Structure 1
Amino acid sequence: MIRAYRKDGSADVILPDPSYGEISDTVLWLDLINPSREEELFVEQRLGIPLPTRDELKDIEPSSRLYVEDDALYMTAPLIYRADTDLPLLTDVAFILHKDRLITVRYAEPKAFNLFIQALARGYGRKHTGAVLACRLLEAVVDRTAEVLETLAGRLDNLSLTVFVDRKAAKRRAPRFLEGKLLDIASHHQLVSKVRDSLVSLSRLVAFLQSQPMVRSDAESAELCNLLLRDLQSLGEHAAFIANNITFMLDASLGLISLEQNAIIKIFSIASVVFLPPTLVASVYGMNFKFMPELDWHFGYPLALFAMLVSAVLPFLFFRWKGWL
């Protein structure tokens, strides 16, 4: 689908009709969403520039994501989407600036685009140029990334309270409680890793955009690029802080699991201490020797039981007094 956004705030869908004339100069932004090859060729013929295909976006090398060709500025960056689900993903989005017009090619629906489109419907971009519109769109992407990190930080706080603070609940929880929390930690780590990958690419993209003459000559777009770089730097530091917290929680959770396993082994150790001496007494009196004077004792059986009881209690008390249990 090809959606066109004009300077007056209107928007419509352009169909790849061969009889369609030139794309009007009033179109400020062409947004190609899951475009077919027919739609890509239609835009290429009308604008006179090549567009990256879906396979090219996937196969493009990180060092070749930013370049200038045929008076057009090509920039590609992976953006986070489906961040609110258990399976967050990255999608490569192409940003192209050509003759004061922004063209985007994407094969997913990052939430930042929908938020920015809603802002355009309220007249947000009527006085913008293509470069400024690109900066504003990147600003929406950065704001959405910041929202994802804030949500992730809140989830980590709740997870930390559940795992480390609520000790009363910890005594009542199932033995595999912490193993289940490891899956949550892994999910959070996957999300923050993808966010950090996206932030690194966005930082390179904005720095490249800032170095272009069309941006340096425009005060508004140059100032927006400076703000974006500062925001990206702070978000990168925040994402690193969250990643360190996730690593700490992972290590601490594994430590707690080890403690629970040690407690289980400790129970078996106590059982061994309690039952091993009585087993020894029972083994002695269970031997089938012909001459055993205790066999003729009237109180031999009660005395043997008493010896078993004493041999169980005394080692237990001694180990407890030494602090080994």
Structure 2
Amino acid sequence: MINAYSANGSTRTLLPAEALPQLPDDVTWIDLVNPTPQEDAYVEGLVGIQVPTRVDLRDIEPSSRLYIEKDAVFMTASLVWRADGKDPQLTDVAFILSGNRLITVRYAEPKSFQLFIAALGRAPDEMRNGVTLLGRLLETIADRTAEILENTVDRVDKLSSDIFRDHGRRRAPRFLEAKLADIADHHRLISKVRDSLGSLSRLLTFLMNVPLIKGDKSDASLCRTVAHDVNTLSEHAAFIAGNIAFLLDASLGLINVEQNAIIKIFSIASVVFLPPTLVASIYGMNFHLMPELDWHFGYPLAIVAMILSAIIPFFVFRWKGWL
């Protein structure tokens, strides 16, 4: 699908079947969403540059993601999407500055694009040229990333409370093991966010050195502000990743403590019942020369000896603080 946005705030969907001879001069943003090869060729014919394909966007070489060709600036960044679900993903998005227009190519629908498109009608000044559009779009992406990090912090805090604040109840290892899956989900999301912020930081560093940006003080200032926000978010993401790592280590430690407590119970039980077993074994040997076998009170005394041999170690363990 090809969406064209004009400086006056109007929007239209371009169809290859229309075969427009040229784009209207007031079109400042062309947004290609899951474009087909026919749509790619159609836009290439309108703007006179080659549009990156899905395979081109997957190239991780910096020289293939950030470059200038025929006075057009080509940039590719990895953005997080599906961040609110259980399966966050990274999607590569191409940003192209060609003349006075911004061209974006994407094969997913990150929420930042939806927010930016929804806000265009409230800020028509942002549509004056492609450079300003790109700066505002990157600003929206940074704001959306900040929102993802804030939501993750809230969920991690709640998870930490569930793990550590047991209100006097012992947490079963099975409960803690279930929480490990939640910790892994948060870690995966933060890893995606950090990868995205890294690609955005490289893009903004490259963008601020483009002559088209350096020649406009307003756009250059906006790019510097967004770059500062991205660097701050990267530090915040690293801090959250550290907290998640601590939560993982603490959960594994609690699981070991709970498992050791269970093993300790079995160990103490075996030690408590070992002396009675020894007494019973001795008097179960049935030798003819054992004098205790002829005692009138031999059997009750053996029972009492077994009971005392079980009770005494129990209280010794209590006194030592081993229970």
Check conservation: 2:3, 2:14, Cα contact below 8 A. yes
Q: Secondary structure at the match of 2:287?
A: coil
Take 1:310 and 1:142, find their aligned partners in 2: how far apart are those partners?
72
Q: Which residue number in structure 2 is paired with residue 155 of structure 1?
A: 155
Q: Which residue number in structure 1 is paired with residue 210 of structure 2?
A: 212
TM-score by length of 2: 0.97
Q: Shift in Å at residue 181 of structure 1?
A: 0.6
Q: Shift in Å at residue 70 of structure 1?
A: 1.2
Give the length in aligned residue pairs: 323
Q: Of 261, 264, 279, which residue of structure 2 is paired with 1:281?
A: 279
1:257 to 1:160, Cα distance in 2 relative to 1, 3 A: same
Take 1:35 and 1:125, find their aligned partners in 2: how far apart are those partners?
28
The farther-off stretch of 133-142 and 19-28 is: 19-28
Q: How does 1:299-318 map to 2 (within 5 A)?
A: 299-318=297-316
Take 2:165 and 2:289, find their aligned partners in 1: how far apart are those partners?
64
Q: Which residue number in structure 2 is paired with residue 21 of structure 1?
A: 21
Check conservation: 1:30, 1:103, Cα contact below 8 A. yes
Q: Which residue number in structure 1 is paired with residue 134 of structure 2?
A: 134
The farther-off stretch of 108-117 and 272-281 is: 272-281
- Equivalent pairs: percent with the same residue? 61
Q: How does 1:173-212 map to 2 (within 5 A)?
A: 173-212=171-210
Check conservation: 2:173, 2:259, Cα contact below 8 A. no
Q: Shift in Å at residue 295 of structure 1?
A: 2.2
1:50 to 1:108, Cα distance in 2 relative to 1, 3 A: same
Take 1:67 and 1:47, find their aligned partners in 2: how far apart are those partners?
18
Q: Of 202, 220, 223, which residue of structure 2 is paired with 1:222?
A: 220
Q: Shift in Å at residue 94 of structure 1?
A: 0.2
Take 2:180 and 2:4, find their aligned partners in 1: how far apart are those partners?
45
Q: Secondary structure at the match of 1:87?
A: coil
Check conservation: 2:67, 2:73, Cα contact below 8 A. yes
Q: Which residue number in structure 1 is paired with residue 289 of structure 2?
A: 291
Q: CA RMSD in A?
A: 1.3
Structure 2 unpaired stretches of 5+: none
Report whether the alignment pairs 1:101 with 2:101: yes
Q: Secondary structure at the match of 1:304?
A: helix
Q: Secondary structure at the match of 1:302?
A: helix
Q: Secondary structure at the match of 2:58?
A: helix
Q: Shift in Å at residue 123 of structure 1?
A: 3.9
Take 1:49 and 1:77, find their aligned partners in 2: how far apart are those partners?
19
Q: Of 219, 231, 234, which residue of structure 2 is paired with 1:233?
A: 231
Q: Shift in Å at residue 154 of structure 1?
A: 0.5
1:273 to 1:126, Cα distance in 2 relative to 1, 3 A: closer
Q: Secondary structure at the match of 1:20?
A: coil
Q: Shift in Å at residue 52 of structure 1?
A: 0.7
Report whether the alignment pairs 1:246 with 2:240: no
Take 2:61 and 2:293, find their aligned partners in 1: how far apart are those partners?
89
The farther-off stretch of 133-142 and 281-290 is: 281-290
Q: Which residue number in structure 2 is paired with residue 119 of structure 1?
A: 119
Take 1:243 and 1:123, find their aligned partners in 2: how far apart are those partners?
36
Q: Shift in Å at residue 286 of structure 1?
A: 1.2
Q: Which residue number in structure 2 is paired with residue 3 of structure 1?
A: 3
Instruction: List per-residue Cα deviations over 1:17-56 (Å, max 9, x = no partner).
Output: 2632201111010000000000000001111100110011
TM-score by length of 1: 0.96
Take 1:174 and 1:247, find their aligned partners in 2: how far apart are those partners?
21
Q: Which residue number in structure 2 is paired with residue 82 of structure 1?
A: 82
